[in-house]
């Protein structure tokens, strides 16, 4: 099986220049199956790239089968590169907290296991502070207690090619049609002004 690629730059500011000529930033988020989270952020204005992958575990170079065992400690996440001149980290997190259920421990819908936990991996003290503030603000939106983990970013392992752009490449696949599409419809209603092309 193809092994994921390890990417170990965990800094929040990237040397890469955005289309606007300014520095880009990175966010790493886990909100259940990364196919769903990837599909949402790919449509958000100011998000320049989205990669599905694994982080937060204790086993080096994990693959999807290892992750699914629940024994590596990794979460399914997306790593976003975004232009903070177009969309702020705070807005990235507002999308995050309204497009998955952060009150369910290690579960999103029928996807169950620690790899599906709600988690924010911060890349700087500023991101940590913003994450804690936004999570506190979002507590009133949900009936249950938010259980989202907030932890420092560690090694990111890019998932296998099969998992990249999954919804875009397979929109009629069963999981995409019955799980991802309803989430996207909800997202598009809430954030219509923030969509690419809006």
Going by DSSP bridges, is the β-strand pair 149-152/118-122 parallel, antiparallel, or unpaired? parallel
The pTM is what? Answer: 0.89
Q: Which residues contact 173 (CB under 8 A, 6 or more apart)?
A: none
Q: pLDDT tens digits for 20-38?
A: 456 999 999 999 999 999 9
CA angle 2, 69, 161 (to 5 degrees): 25
Q: Domains, the chain, ranges and CATH?
A: 5-194 (3.30.1060.10)
Residue (of 112, 103, 3) closest to 54 by Cα position: 3
C-alpha to C-alpha distance for 91 and 158, rounded to whole angstroms: 24
Catalytic residue of the set 33, 36, 68, 176: 33
Q: Residue 127's Cα: distance from chain center in Å?
A: 14
C-alpha to C-alpha distance for 1 and 65, rounded to whole angstroms: 9
51 close to 34: Cβ distance less than 8 angstroms? no
How far lies 69's CA from each of 64, 65, 73, 108, in Å? 9, 7, 9, 17
Q: pLDDT tens digits for 165-176?
A: 999 999 999 999
115 close to 71: Cβ distance less than 8 angstroms? no
Q: pLDDT tens digits for 35-76?
A: 999 999 999 999 999 999 999 999 999 999 999 999 999 999
- 24: three-class secondary structure by DSSP: strand
Q: pLDDT tens digits for 104-120?
A: 999 999 999 999 999 99
33 catalytic, yes or no? yes
Instruction: Please give the biggest Cα pair distance in the chain.
Output: 44
Per-residue tokens: 176: 């995409």
């Amino acid at each position: 099986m193809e092994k994921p690629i390890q990417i170990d730059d965990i800094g929040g500011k990237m040397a890469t220049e955005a289309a606007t000529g300014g520095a880009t930033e990175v966010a790493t988020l886990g909100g259940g199956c990364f196919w769903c989270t990837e599909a949402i952020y790919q449509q958000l204005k100011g998000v320049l790239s989205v990669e599905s992958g694994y982080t937060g575990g204790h086993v080096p170079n994990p693959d999807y089968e290892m992750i699914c065992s629940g024994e590596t400690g990794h979460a399914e996440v997306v790593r976003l590169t975004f232009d903070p001149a177009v969309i702020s980290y705070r807005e990235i997190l507002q999308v995050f907290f309204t497009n998955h259920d952060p009150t369910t421990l290690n579960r999103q819908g029928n996807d169950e296991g620690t790899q599906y936990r709600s988690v924010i991996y911060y890349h700087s003290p500023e991101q940590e502070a913003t994450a804690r503030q936004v999570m506190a603000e979002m507590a009133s939106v949900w009936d249950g207690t938010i259980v989202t983990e907030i932890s420092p970013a560690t090694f990111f392992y890019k998932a296998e090619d099969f998992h990249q752009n999954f919804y875009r490449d397979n929109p009629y696949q069963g999981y995409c049609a019955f799980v991802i599409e309803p989430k996207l419809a909800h997202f598009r209603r809430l954030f219509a002004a923030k969509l690419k092309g809006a």
